[in-house]
Each structure stands twice: as C-alpha cells, then as structure tokens.
Structure 1
Amino acid sequence: MPLRAGIISAKGGSGKSTLAVNLARAIQLDGKEVAVVDTDPQRSATEWGTRQPEGYVLPVRHVNDAEGDSLYERLCAASDGVDVAVIDGSAKLDGATGAIVRASHAVLIPVQPTPMDSWGIRSVVKVVKDTGTRAGLVVSRQIVGTNLAGEVADGIEGYDLPIFDARTSQRVAYAESMFEGKTVLDVPGAKKAAREIQDIATELAQLLEAE
C-alpha cells in the first residue's frame, strides 16, 4: 500500500507547494516511485509539472475539488501505482482538509517564522489531532541570519507536535528551480537548499514509518 504524506498550511505563502515537489523529488531520488497529488485550486504543483524539462519525470496528479469521502477516495486512487504520494493541500481550510488529513499517513505543517503564521496553524493542528494522524511542524522560509525562526519554534512547542530540526530558508534557488520545472536537488550551486530538503525528507520518512 502506498504511503501518503500531506503538506498542509492554513495560509498561502508558506512555501507549501515548493516543499511538496522538492520533498517528492528527494524521495524519488532515494529510489522510490513517487507522485505529487495536487489538491490546491491554484494548481501551483500542476503548473510546475507542465514546466518539467524533457527526460525529467515526476508525476503530478491533480484532484478536482470535492468534499468528504469523495475526495478521500480520489486521493487514495491518485496514489495508486507509487510507493509514496506527496499531497499538496489547499491553503484554504474547508471541508476538504479533513479528507486530506485522513488520507495521509503523516502530515507536515510548514510554518513561516512570523508570530501570525504560528498562531494560524491552530486550526490545522485541531484537524490533525481530531483524526489522530501523525504530524510534524517544520519552520519554512526562515531568513538566514535572524533569530525569528528560533523564536517561532519556541512559540509552537505548545502544540504538542514534533518540530522538525531541519528547516527551509529564503533562497533564490527555490524560486528559480520551481520556475524551470525542477527542484533544488537538480540545480548546480543549490547545495545548501538541497541539504535542507534532504534533511526534511529524512525526518519525514521517520514520521511516515513510525509505529
């Protein structure tokens, strides 16, 4: 049975889609069959998929808007034939969020290093805890050289979910690679960004495989 990892955020701009496709690529390069399942109406991951260069194949499967069991069933069907499906969740929390969480074996919640973003994850955490799904928090798009990320990490400890040691930073390589239909793992000179993704992928694998 394929493992499904949901990437869910309560607001836009958290780097959710960027994290989803980069993590999917890291898992693929580890030798597994992977697909990105795009549930976001903005179709950011789907658009990224159309930009992939020739010979570079990371499947992106868009699931049309639906709610409840219908969406749950579509998510399960969209993960057929792969070892791991990375679900890019919508930034808007609605009836679909519960279905995405229930379909996921583990959920990753990106949090930007701002107080407002850390407060805004409460609704996502509630859905996760109501379903009993394993989940972790990851600081996303931290600004290198500031203390904000550390302060936010301290602030989200009260949600009683594991906080990943690995984080992503504000790096041009993420935006450039997304525009080209690639990931930071495929761009020369993006070693720091690639290491961030590889480290997050390692922690995500541990979360997925936890008993």
Structure 2
Amino acid sequence: MIVALLNQKGGVGKTTLALHLAGHWAHQGARVCLIDADPQGSALDWSEQRAQSGLPRLFGVIGLSRETLHLEARVQAASVDHVVIDGPPRVAGLMRAALIAADLALIPVQPSALDGWASAEIVALVREARSFHPTLEARFVLNRCDPRTRIARSTRAGLVDQQPSLLGPGIAQRILFAEVMAQGRLVFERDPDGPAAREVAALASAIGTLAR
C-alpha cells in the first residue's frame, strides 16, 4: 500500500505523521520504505540524526523529490508492504506525481479555518488525479489538535460530511512528538503505552480498514 501525506500548507505535521506511520508498521513487522519527496528533506534529516545517535534502522528512507515519483514509488512498492510518501508543500508537479502513485492520500489539517481554506487546492488536485487513477482514496486527518477546544470540535464537525471525509480520531498536540523528532526517535520508543503511541496506532488501524 502506498500512503502519501499531502497538503499545500506547510507546518501541518506531514513529516511527523509520515515517520510515525512508517515506524508503527515497521514495529509491527512490516517491510516499509519512506520516500522523502519534500525538497527540504526533513525525513532524511531525521534518519541521519537517528543513525548518528546509534539507533537501529526501523525502515528505509530515500530522497525522491522529482516528478518521476509515481514511477519510482511503484518500483519501491513491489518489494515492501508499505510505502509512505512525505509530500512537498506547494510543488504541484510533485503532488500530482504522489497522487498518481498513491493508494491513499492523507491530508493533515490543524483545527483552523485557515487550514481548511488552504486544503482546497490539494482537494482539487485529488479530483484531477482521479481522472488518471480512479481508485485513489483520500481522507482528511486532524493533527496537532486539542479535542477539548471549540475550534477542534468545530473543525471536526465541518469535515465529517466533506469529500474527502475525515479518517480516525486524529492526533493531539503533544510536546512528546517534537522531542522525539529532534532525537531521531518515535513516540513509541519513549512511551510505548502512552497516548501519543495509541493515537498513531489508531490512525494506522483506520488506514488498514480502507485497505481491506
């Protein structure tokens, strides 16, 4: 399965979600490859930090920020169980390539009206990609949210009946995510039974239901 994390807006947590989904599946015994399609290379930086810290490699991370991404991702998919694409912000050609490659496009959004408006462009790209790739699935996922706040509840309610629809309960705003990312680690390595690890597992499970 190829899962692409995409949104035109930067700072919505695509890299954090991509790395944690890849790590969760690898920890479960799956063969996983993460493609860093963002020219900033944040996932590659995380992988390098992990190697420098002497931590074991959980999954492969390769840099692939070019418009042949859809072809090369399919080559990678032939030898692994999951390919996770960490998509670029505001590079339409790369986004189109990622969408053509993907089985599922996950669109992370934060609880904000601005995030909702900014995601309109990626939704339009999803519709365009379906003319080439009619089986493409797409879902919003709430990220960095505090479910107790009014804006989070309002954003969730506004996405429930949208197309694409909302997937899973979402991921809360937690300091632990920022701490482990800076160390080349993942939340389940610091707190395997904690709420952050459980949220990632719940999102991965929700993705799994789409693949059945």
Q: Which residue of 2 aligns with 1:7?
A: 5
2:69–2:101 Cα contact (<8 Å) kept: no
Q: Per the alignment, in what secondary structure is the counterpart of residue 35 of structure 1? A: strand
Give the alignment partner of residue 184 of structure 2, picking from 161, 181, 184: 181
2:19–2:34 Cα contact (<8 Å) kept: yes
Q: Which residue of 1 aligns with 2:24?
A: 26
* Alpha-carbon distance between aligned partners in 2 of 1:31 and 1:71, rounded to the nearest angstrom: 26
Letter in 2 for 1:61: I
Q: Which residue of 1 aligns with 2:173?
A: 170
Q: For the aligned residues, what is the CA RMSD? A: 1.7
What runs of 5+ residues in structure 1 fail to find an aligned partner? Answer: none
* Alpha-carbon distance between aligned partners in 2 of 1:156 and 1:42, rounded to the nearest angstrom: 29
Q: Which residue of 1 aligns with 2:162?
A: 159
Superposed counterparts of 1:115-134, under 5 Å:
115-130=113-128, 131=130, 132=134, 133-134=136-137
**Cα shift at 1:158:** 5.0
Q: Per the alignment, in what secondary structure is the counterpart of residue 166 of structure 2? A: coil
1:79–1:85 Cα contact (<8 Å) kept: yes
* Alpha-carbon distance between aligned partners in 1 of 2:76 and 2:44, rounded to the nearest angstrom: 14
Deviation readout 1:9-48 (Å, 9 max, x if unpaired): 1111101100000011111122210111100011111100
1:39 and 2:32 matched: no
1:197 and 2:200 matched: yes
**Cα shift at 1:93:** 3.8
What runs of 5+ residues in structure 2 fail to find an aligned partner? Answer: none
* Alpha-carbon distance between aligned partners in 2 of 1:60 and 1:168, rounded to the nearest angstrom: 23
Superposed counterparts of 1:97-112, under 5 Å:
97-112=95-110
**Cα shift at 1:99:** 0.9
2:12–2:108 Cα contact (<8 Å) kept: yes
Q: Per the alignment, in what secondary structure is the counterpart of residue 12 of structure 1? A: coil
* Alpha-carbon distance between aligned partners in 2 of 1:86 and 1:174, rounded to the nearest angstrom: 18
Letter in 1 for 2:199: E
2:37–2:66 Cα contact (<8 Å) kept: no
Q: Per the alignment, in what secondary structure is the counterpart of residue 178 of structure 1? A: helix
- TM-score, normalization by structure 2: 0.89
Q: Per the alignment, in what secondary structure is the counterpart of residue 17 of structure 1? A: helix
**Cα shift at 1:120:** 1.1
Deviation readout 1:180-201 (Å, 9 max, x if unpaired): 1111111137711111100001
User: How many residue pairs are counted as aligned between the two chains?
Assistant: 204
Letter in 1 for 2:181: M
Letter in 1 for 2:157: D
Q: Which residue of 2 aligns with 1:61?
A: 62
